[in-house]
């Protein structure tokens, strides 16, 4: 088979392996609870679904869409952003670009900003597309270790100076996936100062800005003075409004980076389907109570899982945001082995931490994408399987 060598870096082997195990067991008649892939199981707000339904019946929405996004949609995003993030103003024409989801932008931005041999600093563990986009650009990935003793925040002072000299991009993600850690204003200031000093574009993925718990409200990195000089930020309606399948998101911030991505994408696609853009406009400009209601649902799920597992002796810190739990195994076992045993013995799918990087070993990611009763069943199955009574490996 003829294929580019860079595709060797693009692997979904662990995700595929877990899916294959799930389907094999289902074919045997087993009931499997899938807490692997983070696909929202809740529907979007009713008024958004109604707007989408009405729009698709209009005959004028089936042509090529505006590549940069309808001006009305970009204006709706700008107004939503200003209300949500303490009055920060964006230029809808120069500082905002509509995307087919934030993953679209994360995969393509390195192609617009990096040359072969450039370096991008990427969190480890991290969402796989961060590194995939770098490899597709034939650039090099340098890890930013996320360690629990640092609150899962990177230590910029520990980076190799020679690597930093070659770095042209740095990716951050708070609240994060797979690690649902959060960052504060002081950290963002350090990150911006570091990137300004070393002439690095700072890319912040804020896909989970609205899926939060216990009253926590993440800030935007663009709230930091001078952030637009070096930073762009990705936003997504996939998680905020449960619109993952309709693929709609935004990049906002530094004009040069936004323009570079816009130029690239004008050569490879024709923009988001017009009816989806209309529905997204309604979502951003309409009643925002859905995000609070959705967060309450996920918070209940979080508590069911973590409180239940805690009662079994598996102590896990409760995240402040996202639909994920990043769980350190309660004993010394390879996380892939644990995940395979869990699906076999308890019928529960989770993702081994090493799927997200070398520093993911010893952890599993649990997605809270099942109703409360299924999560109670998850805890019951884990208890009955006895897997948490495994003796530590010597």
Mark whether 209 and 99 lie in a shared domain: yes
Question: Average pLDDT for residues 315-331, to the nearest whole number?
Answer: 97
Q: How many domains, the chain?
A: 2
pLDDT 10s digits, 174-196: 999 999 999 999 999 999 999 99
**Confidence category of residue 66, pLDDT binned at 50, 70, 90:** confident
- Predicted TM-score of the model (pTM): 0.96
Residue ending a domain, choose from 231, 258, 287: 287
In this structure, is the dihedral angle defined by the CA atoms of residues 297, 298, 301 and 303, taken in order, positive or negative? negative
Question: Average pLDDT for residues 246-259, to the nearest whole number?
Answer: 98
Asked if 249 and 105 touch (Cβ cutoff 8 Å), the reply is yes
Does 392 reside within a domain? no
pLDDT of amino acid 391: 58
Asked if 144 and 123 touch (Cβ cutoff 8 Å), the reply is yes
Does 109 reside within a domain? yes
Helices (H), the chain: 13-27, 46-56, 71-84, 102-113, 128-136, 161-166, 185-198, 237-240, 255-265, 274-285, 289-311, 335-346, 372-385
Mark whether 93 and 183 lie in a shared domain: yes
Does 171 reside within a domain? yes
Asked if 212 and 183 touch (Cβ cutoff 8 Å), the reply is no
Question: Average pLDDT for residues 119-146, to the nearest whole number?
Answer: 97
Does 393 reside within a domain? no
Torsion of CA 285, 286, 287, 289, to 10 degrees: -60
pLDDT of amino acid 394: 36
Does 187 reside within a domain? yes
Mark whether 51 and 19 lie in a shared domain: no
Task: For residue 220, count CB atoms less than 10 angstroms from its CB and return exposed for 0-12, middle for 13-18, buried for 19 or more.
Answer: buried
The strand pairing partners of 144, in sequence order, are 123
Mark whether 22 and 156 lie in a shared domain: no
Q: Is the pLDDT of residue 165 over 50?
A: yes
Mark whether 369 and 255 lie in a shared domain: no
Rounded Cα gap, residues 118 and 98, in angstroms: 26
Rounded Cα gap, residues 41 and 367, in angstroms: 11
Rounded Cα gap, residues 111 and 109, in angstroms: 5
A 10 A CB-CB count for 75 gives: 18
pLDDT of amino acid 393: 42
Question: Average pLDDT for residues 52-61, to the nearest whole number?
Answer: 94
pLDDT of amino acid 320: 98
Helix orientation angle between 274-285 and 71-84, rounded to the nearest 10 degrees = 30
Q: Is the pLDDT of residue 65 over 90?
A: no
Does 266 reside within a domain? yes
Mark whether 320 and 256 lie in a shared domain: no
> Measured over all CA atoms, what is the biggest interatomic distance in the chain, rounded to whole angstroms?
67
pLDDT of amino acid 67: 77
Question: Average pLDDT for residues 33-62, to the nearest whole number?
Answer: 95
DSSP 4: -
Q: Is the pLDDT of residue 251 over 50?
A: yes
Does 146 reside within a domain? yes
Does 394 reside within a domain? no
pLDDT of amino acid 1: 64
CATH number where 211 lies: 3.40.640.10
pLDDT of amino acid 114: 98
Question: Average pLDDT for residues 114-124, to the nearest whole number?
Answer: 97
Residue ending a domain, choose from 234, 260, 287: 287
For 246, the domain range is 46-287
DSSP letters for 97-112: EEESSHHHHHHHHHHH
Mark whether 40 and 50 lie in a shared domain: no
Residue ending a domain, choose from 287, 305, 334: 287
Mark whether 321 and 253 lie in a shared domain: no
Asked if 173 and 203 touch (Cβ cutoff 8 Å), the reply is no
| Lowest mean pLDDT segment, chosen from 158-162, 268-272, 290-294 | 268-272
pLDDT of amino acid 170: 98
Question: Average pLDDT for residues 94-113, to the nearest whole number?
Answer: 97
Mark whether 193 and 325 lie in a shared domain: no
The strand pairing partners of 252, in sequence order, are 96, 233
Mark whether 372 and 271 lie in a shared domain: no
**Confidence category of residue 13, pLDDT binned at 50, 70, 90:** confident
Identify the CA nearest to 238 among candidates 391, 148, 127: 127
- DSSP β-ladder status, 201-205 and 33-34: unpaired
Torsion of CA 354, 357, 361, 363, to 10 degrees: -80
Mark whether 40 and 51 lie in a shared domain: no
CATH number where 328 lies: 3.90.1150.10
Mark whether 306 and 380 lie in a shared domain: yes
Token digits of residue 2: 């003829």
């Amino acid at each position: 088979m003829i294929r580019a060598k860079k595709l060797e870096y693009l692997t979904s082997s662990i995700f595929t392996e877990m899916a294959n195990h799930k389907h094999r067991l289902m074919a045997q008649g087993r009931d499997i609870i899938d807490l692997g892939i983070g696909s929202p199981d809740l529907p979007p707000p009713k008024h958004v679904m109604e707007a989408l339904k009405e729009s698709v019946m209009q005959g004028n929405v089936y042509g090529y869409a505006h590549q940069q996004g309808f001006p009305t949609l970009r204006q709706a995003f700008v107004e939503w952003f200003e209300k949500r993030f303490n009055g920060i103003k964006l230029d809808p024409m120069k500082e905002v670009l509509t995307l087919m989801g934030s993953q679209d932008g994360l995969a393509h931005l390195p192609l617009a900003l990096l040359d072969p041999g450039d370096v991008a600093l990427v969190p480890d563990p991290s969402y796989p597309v961060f590194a995939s986009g770098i490899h597709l650009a034939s650039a090099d990935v340098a890890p930013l270790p996320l360690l629990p003793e640092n609150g899962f925040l990177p230590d910029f002072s520990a980076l190799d100076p020679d690597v930093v000299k070659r770095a042209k991009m740095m990716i951050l993600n708070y609240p994060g996936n797979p690690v649902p850690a959060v960052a504060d204003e002081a950290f963002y200031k350090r990150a911006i100062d570091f990137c300004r000093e070393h002439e690095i574009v700072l890319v912040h993925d804020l896909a989970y800005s609205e899926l939060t718990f216990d009253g926590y409200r993440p800030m935007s990195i663009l709230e930091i003075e001078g952030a637009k000089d070096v930073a762009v930020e990705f936003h997504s309606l996939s998680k905020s409004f449960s619109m993952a399948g309709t693929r709609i998101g935004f990049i906002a911030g530094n004009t040069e980076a936004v323009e570079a991505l816009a130029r690239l994408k004008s050569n490879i696609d024709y923009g988001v389907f017009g009816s989806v853009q209309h529905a997204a406009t309604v979502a951003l400009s309409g009643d925002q109570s859905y995000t609070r209601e959705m967060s309450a649902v996920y918070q209940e799920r979080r508590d069911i899982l973590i409180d239940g597992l805690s009662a079994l002796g598996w102590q896990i810190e409760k995240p402040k945001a996202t639909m994920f739990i990043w769980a350190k195994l309660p004993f010394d076992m390879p996380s892939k082995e644990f995940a395979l045993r869990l699906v076999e013995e308890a019928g529960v799918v989770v993702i081994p931490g090493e799927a997200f990087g070398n520093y993911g070993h010893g952890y599993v990611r649990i997605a809270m994408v099942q109703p409360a009763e299924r999560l109670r069943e998850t805890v019951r199955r884990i208890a009955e399987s006895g897997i948490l009574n495994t003796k530590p490996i010597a």
